[in-house]
Amino acid sequence: MGRDMDLAAQRLDLAGTRSFGAPGAGRRRRTALADFARDQLQGIWAEATKGGRFEGVALASVGSLARGDGGPLSDYDLVLLHYGRSLSEGDVTELADRVWYPIWDGGAKLDHSVRTVNQCRQVAAADLSAAVGLLDLTWVAGDREVVQAASATLAHDWRANARRRLPELVESLETRHRRHGDLAHVIEPDLKEARGGLRDMTVLRALTAAWLADRPHGAVDTAYEHLLDVRDALHVVTGRGRDRLTREDHDAVAALLGEPDADAMLTEVATSARTIAFALDATVRRAGQSQRARTLRIGPRRPQLNPLGYGLFEHDGELVLGPSVDPARDPLLALRAAVLAARNNLPISPATLANLAEHSAPLSEPWSVLARSLFADLLAAGPGLIPVWEGLDLAGVVERWIPEWADVRSRPQRNPVHRHTVDRHLVETVVQAKPLLRDVERPDLLLLAALLHDIGKVAGAHDHSTVGAPVAARVAARMGLPQREVDLVTLLVREHLTLIDLATRRDPQDPQTVAAVVDAVGGERAVLELLRALTEADACAAGPAAWTDWRAQLLDRLTGGVRAALGDETARPVPDELDGPLSPEVITSVVAGEPHVEVTSVGGVHRLDVYDRDRLGLFADTAGLLASHGLVVRTAVVRTLDGIAANEWHVESPGGDVPDGVVLARGLFRLARGDRAPLMALERRRAPRPTASAHASSGSPGQTRAMVVPQASLDATVIEVRAQDRPGLLHDVGLALAKAGLSVRSAHIATYAGQTLDTFYLTEFAGRALPPARVAQAVSVLIDACDGTGAQGR
């Protein structure tokens, strides 16, 4: 074989692109690639050993090449294996060079080693990862006997040391999964290393090789083949042998696989990953049970069944059906099993899940009162619900209860706030709602709404709340709820974003904001409490970016005002410390021309009360100064008390430092006198702005969208702005508004994935709402201030 041969190009050509996603095409492709690789390696071996005697020496493979499931650009993992007595060390090194260099010259990635049989045993004994990998040791060329001897010895050692190595294997699994995340819930997953990925299938085979447990077959094999297909497509579209599926590759991989779009492709990836992860968890449990049985058994051992009721038992850490129980006779048996398993933090055994899925009688429609009660008990089980629901879902039981669940199963969420697929987020929301049940009159309806609140996140849905409301109504009606309760669940699903949207994007203390919430809950206090609890549970389930101290404060402020508006005499709006006379210290400082800044920290949110002489441009100067100090603005409320500007800013500090009020006050003092030095740090972060002519010649329209929100306030004009984020954006907006003679009464700031969603309450400098002509000017000013720059980050 010539050294100029391009192995990588030939492997890509062999993979091809025609019929890539057709049934069975992946297995045929990988078989062809494996045959090609062995042919080429055998040719290299023949060339390397020409004219010499090499008894007791062989070329063997491990990894994907040994298993025959390598991708178009997967690495070659090769071992030059020998007994250690037939060749000198120099001869072995020279032979290895003659084998490795043609592979490198051909452009293939190579992971190589030279070992004796005893060295293989030593490496496997010292390194768990190597031990698992060497179980795949397969002959490629040379003396077959040396490979067979090594393979048999390694397998024997693996079985003999299984008891000691199983805890080590489980610990390594957990460490790897923590590092790489859950493949089913990551938008840019590592197809190999993440939980439910390709390497987990290797671990499944290793557990089987230890004779501790047999692994599941059927669905898990199909899932594995699908992940391999995605990996192969990734190699082809990128021209690189990598395993991370990044966003920029989603569309191309989906198209090559014949999927309708990237989300459909990710849904299939997530489902496959969940299947493998569930199989791995079950097999690890089986291995542990086998270990315990070997340790404790003295003579024949009958299974220890602990009764849980209704013919269900706990056996060795799992819930199982009793020997005489027939699921076909009890339509409620699956619900009973799920409730008992979740309450006792027990997984349902795979055999029991399969039995329930195949033989359970369907529930009557509408559901009976007892069925609804059991379902509510299941949802109220707490964290134990998550693994039980996962098993029921993969077995097909959940879809029999709620057919609409299939539309959101494994569906990805590209919103950076969310950390789970749609279906898993719904279950997480149910779990997060449990601590809030005592705060509402109808805990069962809160849990049902939590389970269904995102059921409208289906393909093509623009407003998932609106799409999901009738779906939730259909599910609730099928469950047999009275019409009033169906309507209430429908309202909760339709309005589940209302509170957090108004709290974060409107002034929570504006009477119009309060009135909007009162209207949304139909003027009912009980509905308000349900909606408030659902809002918190939804945000907590989404992730830490969705539920912060700042958001909690805003929601409390809004709901406090709504409770008071609904006539709750015990409830009052969250008090505002600035509603009262200014302290003598503040008045003295401001009259002397020196700003005063007070800092109050609550959790990760810092409230800054800024006192200064009232002037146009104070908002812009404060925003710029805060940005210079690396602080992220969340809200700003502008007031004037006794002729003194008393402004309230809520900020977060990414670095964790508490803002220094004295330093900020000194910066405002310098800015008021025309000294721009305090903003130098911000200016250094800015990217150069393109000129107006360059922007016009590019032909690209501005990215900013400004929209007037009618009736959002009686004494201010409310404008929502969506723009590309960049350093100092809020400062530029404030400066432009000040130059136009417009005052910011309050600003409510949010940033997601590099896009701002800001709301400004604007007035004339005298405090009046803007007349129509000034409204148009304000919209124009906001768009001009935001457009014309490509820098990133605030």
Average pLDDT value for the chain? 89
Q: What pLDDT is stored for residue 108 in this prediction?
A: 87
> Which one is predicted more confidently, 656 or 603?
656
pLDDT over threshold 90, residue 432: yes
pLDDT over threshold 90, residue 292: no
Which stretches does DSSP call E strand in 622-669? 632-637, 640-641, 644-652
Q: What pLDDT is stored for residue 16 in this prediction?
A: 77
Split at pLDDT 50, 70, 90, the class of 789 is: very low
- Give tens-digit pLDDT for 380-421: 999 999 999 999 999 999 999 999 999 999 999 987 788 899
Ramachandran bin of 377, using left for φ above 0, alpha for ψ from -120 to 50, beta for the remaining angles: alpha
Split at pLDDT 50, 70, 90, the class of 461 is: confident
Q: What pLDDT is stored for residue 146 in this prediction?
A: 94
What's the rounded Cα separation, in Å, for the pair 704 and 719?
A: 12
| Average pLDDT value for residue range 734-743 | 91
pLDDT over threshold 90, residue 213: no
The most confident of the ranges 4-13, 65-74, 757-766 is 65-74
- Give tens-digit pLDDT for 543-562: 887 888 888 888 999 999 99
Supply φ then ψ for residue 570, to 5 degrees: -85, -10
pLDDT over threshold 60, residue 699: no
- Give tens-digit pLDDT for 95-118: 999 999 999 988 889 999 999 999
CA distances from 437 to 441, 452, 520, 530, 534 (A): 8, 17, 21, 9, 10
Split at pLDDT 50, 70, 90, the class of 694 is: very low
Which of 744, 705, 707 has the alpha carbon at shortest distance from 724? 705
373: how many CB neighbours lie within 10 A of its CB? 15
Angle at 128 between CA 126 and CA 131, to 5 degrees: 90
Q: What pLDDT is stored for residue 755 in this prediction?
A: 80
- Give tens-digit pLDDT for 19-44: 787 888 889 999 999 999 999 999 99
Residues in contact with 123: Cβ distance below 8 Å, sequence separation at least 6, in sequence order:
115, 130, 131, 134
- Give tens-digit pLDDT for 230-240: 999 999 999 99
| Average pLDDT value for residue range 461-470 | 94
| Average pLDDT value for residue range 485-510 | 94
Contact present, 422 and 413 (Cβ < 8 Å): yes
CA distances from 684 to 347, 680, 687 (A): 56, 6, 8
Give the chain's domains with CATH numbers: 7-160 (3.30.460.10), 164-296 (1.20.120.330), 306-565 (1.10.3090), 584-687+700-786 (no CATH)
pLDDT over threshold 70, residue 720: yes
What's the rounded Cα separation, in Å, for the pair 595 and 586?
A: 8
Q: According to DSSP H, which parts of 380-524 are helical?
A: 385-395, 397-401, 422-433, 443-452, 464-478, 483-494, 498-505, 511-520
| Average pLDDT value for residue range 270-289 | 93
Split at pLDDT 50, 70, 90, the class of 692 is: very low
3-state DSSP call for residue 88?
Answer: coil
Burial (CB count <10 Å: 0-12, 13-18, 19+), residue 68: middle
